[in-house]
């Protein structure tokens, strides 16, 4: 009996602490400064760890900017220069060198595939999951790592699980926690507008909703994610659809048009990339959201990878294991930039408009811009892109009628 | 600190692969990491489909021929040693390779001759050691798609074969191929340097 009593006492003290220090202050929008202190300690520890690692490894094997430069030396000359000729030169047997080199380079490393796996860090942040290239350095570092594991799994994890449990049950029951902050961010999306952002994980949604309420548009999921989605629909109208069904897409466009026409409804939140990218780049924005008309409010979201990797690789991890990884990271730190609204200009079609917004978001967030379709995560590239390359090459060898 | 990354112990036959291809340990780890990233379903080998998923390769005019080069002898799968063997052709030529060759050891995969042989194979569809006019036409057609007429393509194929053909058999053998490219800086054009 004593064991049960003790367990009961611990549980109730725990809950009171959580309620007192975290829930109540956040309900009233007051910050106790605990997070700030935690972050300061964390940064100091990681800096110490980095210095230890650098002292420990021999000079040659330190990764220098490998994340941004890539693993092979690239020669980015266009096709004409690479084929060492002028326009209208004839076909040579040696043309094959250029193409085979480009092809093999793509096999060793391509811009797109690497965006669908987690970013590699230049210096280790004491999490095993980001440890790709670091080896054993010293006993002290290992001790700190062990301490880190204890802190993350025995303190942070139960804390976050408790919060999540409370949060999700309240959500499912149908009440909304009020968390309206004073209106100090001038560019926040207004009613009747469309909010557009780059996509890394479902946490993007959580972060944006702490600042305002949105109606969401997204892919239907199963499991825990599905439960949350269905619960949200009970509270206000969202648009969930099936990515692969063509009919659905037209339906979605129709519903979106109706939604923004009604000025009383909440602003819509859309992620035009169509899938989660690993937060180092912004991929092609699908034109669908930009055809509807209305004002677009771009938002750039950039996570700091040093504290925890927020990218959700849905083909590798399901929702629950993703949440577990999130809750055992040090912290999720992100920067959110609300940008001035944009509208489609005269003579600009949906695709150009989409690209313009994409560039703005990429520049603001410090991400690279890629023309490739995020759908490449799941499907093959379209034939039209290959035809373009073939056209370029044909123009060179035949073009000016210089065939003998 | 143990992790889920590639360690030398994980790569089977790492030593023999290193001797055969000449890649450094670090490069081999990188390539193994890449091999596993491409192998989406964790089968342990790559199929043609896995390579076709690479966007930049699928739009390459010679993409199909390059993918074929990974599957010699009609096989449908390529394992890691096979994967690395093809990539070894593109290893830059370093000084250590051109030092006095041990006559008993086979020629390194990234020698000039082997690089040329890889390029030759891209044209030689039936692997009979000769590029016939017909094969030249087919490869050209792959590279230009529907953008060029049959007549123009035939002219180009005829001209190319004629220029390289020395013994007049209407086809280009490997020796003739090598001869016609003797002034070309093959080592530089067919090299991919892997940064440490």
- Each residue's pLDDT tens digit, A107-128: 888 777 777 777 766 666 767 6
Q: Is A90 on the interface with B (CB under 8 A)?
A: yes
Inform me whether the C-beta atom of residue A96 falls under 8 Å from chain B C-beta atoms. Answer: yes
> A224: pLDDT confidence band, cut at 50, 70 and 90?
confident
Residues B135 and B181 occupy one common structural domain? yes
CB contacts under 8 A, B 69-98 vs A, are 86-87, 90
Region B156-162: mean pLDDT is: 87
Give the pLDDT of residue A57. 60
B128 pLDDT higher than 50: yes
pLDDT higher than 50, residue B1? no
What's the pLDDT score for residue A358? 92
Domain boundary residue among B55, B88, B121? Answer: B88
> Is pLDDT at B83 greater than 50 in this prediction?
yes
Measure in Å the smallest separation between the Cα of A329 and chain B Cα atoms.
16
Residue A166 lies in a domain: no
- Picking from A63, A81, A104 by the largest number of B CB atoms within 10 A of its own CB, the best residue to mutate is A104
Residue B166 domain flag: yes
The answer to whether residues A396 and A87 touch, using CB atoms and an 8 Å cutoff, is: yes
Mean pLDDT over residues A192-214, rounded? 80
pLDDT of residue A155: 74
A positions 298-337 inside 8 Å of B (CB):
315
Number of domains in chain A: 1
Tell me what the mean pLDDT of segment A354-380 comes to.
83
- Which of the residue ranges A15-24, A177-186, A318-327 would you say has the lowest mean pLDDT? A177-186
Whether the predicted pLDDT of A54 surpasses 80: no
pLDDT at A208 over 60: yes
State yes or no: pLDDT of A46 exceeds 60: yes
Query: What is the average pLDDT value for chain A, to the nearest integer?
Result: 73
- Contact residues, chain A, for B2 at CB < 8 Å: 128
- Inside any domain, residue B103: no
Q: Please tell me the distance from the alpha carbon of residue A311 to that of residue A322, in angstroms, as a whole number.
A: 9
Q: Do B81 and B114 have their domain in common?
A: no
Q: Average of pLDDT values for A72-81?
A: 66
Q: CA end-to-end span of chain A, whole Å?
A: 99
Q: What percent of chain A has pLDDT over 90?
A: 2
What is the structure's pLDDT at B78?
Answer: 92
Output the six-digit token pair for B20.
């055969």
Q: What is the mean pLDDT of residues A65-89?
A: 57
Give A79 to chain B, closest Cα distance, Å: 11
B183: DSSP letter? T
Mark whether B18 and B82 lie in a shared domain: yes
How does DSSP classify residue B190?
T
Q: Residue A209 has what pLDDT?
A: 76
Pick among B109, B147, B184 to test the A interface (most A CBs inside 10 A) = B147
Q: Based on the fold, state whether residues B79 and B125 are members of the same structural domain.
A: no
Q: Which of residues 54-83 of A touch B (CB under 8 A)?
A: 60-61, 66, 69-73
Say what the pLDDT of residue A83 is. Answer: 63
Is A400 contained in some domain? no
Q: Is A167 within a domain?
A: no
Write phi, then psi, for A281 (nearest 5 degrees).
-155, 165
Same domain as B120, residue B75: no
Domain enclosing residue A333, as ranges: 192-390
Do B114 and B59 lie in one domain? The reply is: no
Interface test with B, best of A62, A97, A142, A392 (most B CBs within 10 A): A97
Q: Does A210 touch chain B (CB under 8 A)?
A: no
Least confident of A20-34, A136-150, B169-183: A20-34
Asked if B151 is an interface residue toward chain A (Cβ–Cβ < 8 A), one would say no
Number of domains in chain B: 2
Q: What is the pLDDT of residues A328-341, one digit of tens each?
A: 777 777 788 888 88
Quick one: what percent of chain A has pLDDT higher than 70?
A: 71
**Does B190 reside within a domain?**
yes
**Is B38 near chain A, with CB under 8 Å?**
yes
- B140, part of any domain: yes
More reliable by pLDDT, B70 or A167: B70
Domain containing B150 equals 110-195
CATH classification of the domain holding B30: 1.10.238.10
Q: Is residue B30 assigned to a domain?
A: yes
What is the pLDDT at residue B4? Answer: 40
My answer on whether B17 and B65 are in the same domain is yes
Q: Are residues B30 and B80 in the same domain?
A: yes
Q: In this model, does residue A241 exceed pLDDT 60?
A: yes
């Amino acid at each position: 009996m004593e064991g049960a009593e003790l367990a009961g006492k611990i549980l109730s003290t725990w809950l009171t602490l959580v309620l007192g220090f975290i829930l109540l202050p956040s309900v009233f929008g007051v910050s106790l400064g605990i997070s700030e202190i935690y972050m300061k300690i964390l940064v100091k520890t990681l800096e110490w760890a980095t210095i230890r690692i650098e002292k420990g490894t021999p000079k040659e094997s330190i990764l220098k900017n490998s994340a941004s430069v890539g693993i092979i030396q690239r020669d980015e000359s266009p096709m004409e220069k690479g084929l060492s000729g002028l326009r209208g030169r004839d076909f040579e047997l040696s043309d094959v060198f250029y193409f085979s080199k480009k092809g093999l380079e793509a096999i060793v490393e391509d811009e797109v595939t690497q965006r669908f796996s987690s970013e590699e860090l230049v210096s280790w942040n004491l999490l095993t999951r980001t440890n790709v290239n670091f080896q054993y350095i010293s006993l002290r570092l290992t001790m700190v790592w062990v301490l880190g594991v204890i802190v993350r799994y025995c303190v942070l994890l139960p804390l976050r699980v408790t919060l999540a449990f409370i949060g999700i049950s309240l959500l499912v029951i149908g009440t909304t926690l009020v968390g309206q902050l004073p209106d100090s961010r001038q560019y926040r999306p207004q009613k009747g507008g469309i909010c557009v952002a780059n996509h890394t994980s479902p946490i993007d949604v959580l972060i944006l909703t702490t600042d305002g309420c949105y109606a969401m548009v997204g892919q239907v999921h199963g499991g825990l994610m599905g439960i949350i989605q269905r619960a949200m629909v009970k509270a206000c109208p969202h648009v969930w659809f099936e990515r692969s069904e063509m009919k659905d897409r037209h339906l979605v466009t129709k519903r979106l048009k109706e939604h923004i026409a009604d000025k009383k409804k909440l602003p819509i939140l859309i992620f035009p990339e169509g899938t989660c990218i690993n937060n180092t780049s912004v991929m092609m924005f699908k034109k669908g959201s930009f055809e509807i008309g209305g004002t677009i409010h771009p938002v750039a979201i950039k996570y700091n990878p040093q504290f925890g990797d927020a990218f959700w690789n849905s083909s590798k991890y399901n929702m629950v294991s993703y949440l577990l990884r999130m809750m055992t990271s040090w912290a999720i730190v992100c920067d959110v930039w609300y940008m001035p609204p944009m509208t489609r200009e005269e003579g600009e079609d949906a695709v150009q408009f989409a690209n313009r917004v994409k560039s703005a978001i990429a520049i603001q967030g410090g991400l690279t811009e890629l023309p490739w379709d995020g759908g490449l995560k799941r499907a093959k590239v379209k034939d039209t892109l290959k035809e373009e390359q073939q056209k370029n090459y044909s123009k060179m060898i035949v073009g000016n009628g210089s065939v003998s | 600190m143990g992790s889920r990354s590639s360690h030398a112990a994980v790569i089977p036959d790492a030593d023999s692969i290193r001797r055969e291809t000449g890649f450094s340990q670090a490069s081999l780890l990188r390539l193994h990491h890449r091999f596993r990233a491409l192998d989406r379903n964790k089968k342990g080998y790559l199929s043609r489909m896995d390579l076709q998923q690479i966007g930049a390769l699928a739009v390459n005019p010679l993409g199909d021929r390059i993918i074929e080069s990974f599957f010699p002898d009609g096989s449908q799968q390529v394992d890691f040693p096979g994967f690395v063997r093809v990539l070894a052709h593109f290893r830059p030529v370093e000084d250590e390779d051109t030092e006095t060759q041990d006559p008993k050891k086979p020629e390194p995969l990234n020698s000039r001759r082997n690089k040329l042989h890889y390029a030759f194979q891209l044209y030689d569809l039936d692997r009979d050691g000769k590029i016939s006019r017909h094969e030249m036409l087919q490869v050209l057609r792959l590279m230009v798609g529907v953008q060029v007429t049959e007549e123009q393509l035939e002219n180009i194929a005829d001209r190319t074969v004629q220029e390289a053909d020395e013994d007049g058999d209407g086809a280009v053998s490997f020796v003739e191929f090598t001869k016609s490219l003797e002034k070309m800086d093959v080592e530089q054009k067919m090299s991919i340097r892997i940064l440490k």
